[in-house]
């Protein structure tokens, strides 16, 4: 017996990737449904060798389905996730709606798998923000060894984090640079993204940080340890897919860069590529389509007593969203539902 799985938002970037990864990882699916809004009704999406026609989210009955992977915004999630959960279908939500709810586990399976048992309070599990997910995969094994006190992170986030509209805007603006008669004003982003970087993701908070930066702080504390101090600067860059992060870590105990490298090599979900030579590191272009979180540029920070620097790269549509959701589904099945 396998699982009856629903993918909500199946026509979007993340929803399509969820279907791809469910098929790639041979998730034990007994029955699958692809849901979308009424305007996308009947759109065809791929699930392995199978083509699915999307069904109407508005009229779908979740009764009898085991899991629903939600890849829609907080608005539709707020309306439909409680309905699915009340019908006995466990929701794995990719939006930010439930991440900070104390009754909803926020999970990265390589980091806090034990939290999955808390799903039963609301029948909902939250998927973290894309920039947080890849960072905590790298932080957790180092925290277990040397106890992380403080993290300073600067992100270089691809436009796919803003959805298809963000990718389209970068493409159209890039072409327009070479066509003097074309003008593609910023719509999805606050300034032109082509050949530019924008230090602004999500809305501004009262303290001057953006909500994307606040998410990284709050989610790291919830997933790993509330005592960790985190400060973030989140930047949008003209890259289509793949988020990069420069991470500075201060630990309570001294951790040698060679030991840190060995720890990360052994850690689940991580691939260390760290050679001190031209090209001996990973860039976002190389990580696209891969399951791993890549770590490079591991080195001591000599400006503090116990400091490390590293470079962290991952496919944000995969580990940052769809892959993590499928890994949560696998964990939920293995630890709690036990059907597949």
Q: Which residues are catalytic?
A: 130, 243
161 labelled binding-site residue? yes
157 labelled binding-site residue? yes
276 labelled binding-site residue? no
180 labelled binding-site residue? yes
Residues near 248 by beta carbon (within 8 Å), at least 6 away in sequence: 151, 152, 153, 301, 307, 308, 309
Question: How would you class 279 by CB atoms within 10 Å of its CB: exposed for 0-12, middle for 13-18, buried for 19 or more?
Answer: exposed
11 labelled binding-site residue? yes
Q: Angle at CA 330, nearest 5°, toward 31 and 74?
A: 80
265 labelled binding-site residue? no
236 labelled binding-site residue? yes
51 labelled binding-site residue? no
99 labelled binding-site residue? yes
- CA-wise closest residue to 187 among 162, 169, 175, 200: 169
Residues near 184 by beta carbon (within 8 Å), at least 6 away in sequence: 169, 172, 173, 175, 176
- CA-wise closest residue to 71 among 47, 91, 101, 45: 91
The SS3 call for residue 286 is helix
In which order are the strands placed within the sheet that holds 148-157? 229-236, 148-157, 243-251, 307-314, 293-300, 270-272
Considering just the CA atoms, what is the radius of gyration of the chain in Å? Answer: 20
64 labelled binding-site residue? no
39 labelled binding-site residue? yes
Is residue 135 a contact partner of residue 153, using CB atoms and an 8 Å limit? yes
Counting DSSP H helices and E strands in the chain, the numbers are: 8, 14
For the annotated binding site, the residues are 11-14, 39-40, 99, 157, 160-161, 180, 236, 316
Give binding residues for NADP(+) as ranges: 11-14, 39-40, 160-161, 180, 316
């Amino acid at each position: 017996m396998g699982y009856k799985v629903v993918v909500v938002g199946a026509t979007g970037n993340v929803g399509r990737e969820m279907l791809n990864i469910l098929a790639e990882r041979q998730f034990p699916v007994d029955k699958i449904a692809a849901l979308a809004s009424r305007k996308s009704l009947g759109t065809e999406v791929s699930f392995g060798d199978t083509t699915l026609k999307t069904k109407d989210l508005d009229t779908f009955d979740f009764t009898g389905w085991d899991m629903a992977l939600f890849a829609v915004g907080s608005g539709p999630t707020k309306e439909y996730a409680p309905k699915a959960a009340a019908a006995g279908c466990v929701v794995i939500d990719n939006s930010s709606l439930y991440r900070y709810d104390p009754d909803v586990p926020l999970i990265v399976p390589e980091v806090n798998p034990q939290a999955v048992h808390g799903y039963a309070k609301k029948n909902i599990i939250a998927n973290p923000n894309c920039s947080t997910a890849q960072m905590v995969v790298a932080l957790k094994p180092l925290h277990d060894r040397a106890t992380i006190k403080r993290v300073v992170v600067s992100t270089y986030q691809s436009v796919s984090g803003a959805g298809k509209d963000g990718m389209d805007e970068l493409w159209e603006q890039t072409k327009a640079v070479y066509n003097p008669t074309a003008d593609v004003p910023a719509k999805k982003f606050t300034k032109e993204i082509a050949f530019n970087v924008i230090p602004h993701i999500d809305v501004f908070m009262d303290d001057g940080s953006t909500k994307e930066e606040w998410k990284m702080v709050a989610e790291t504390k919830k997933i790993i340890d509330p005592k960790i101090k985190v400060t973030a600067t989140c930047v949008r860059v003209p890259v289509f897919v793949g988020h990069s992060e420069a991470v500075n870590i201060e630990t309570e105990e001294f951790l040698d860069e060679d030991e840190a490298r060995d720890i990360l090599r052994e850690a689940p979900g991580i691939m260390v590529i760290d050679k001190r030579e031209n090209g001996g590191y990973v860039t976002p272009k190389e990580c696209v389509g891969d399951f791993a979180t890549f770590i490079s540029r591991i080195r001591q920070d000599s400006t503090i007593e116990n400091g490390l620097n590293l470079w962290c790269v991952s496919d944000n549509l995969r580990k940052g969203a769809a892959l993590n959701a499928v890994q949560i589904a696998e964990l939920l099945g293995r630890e709690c539902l036990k059907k597949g």
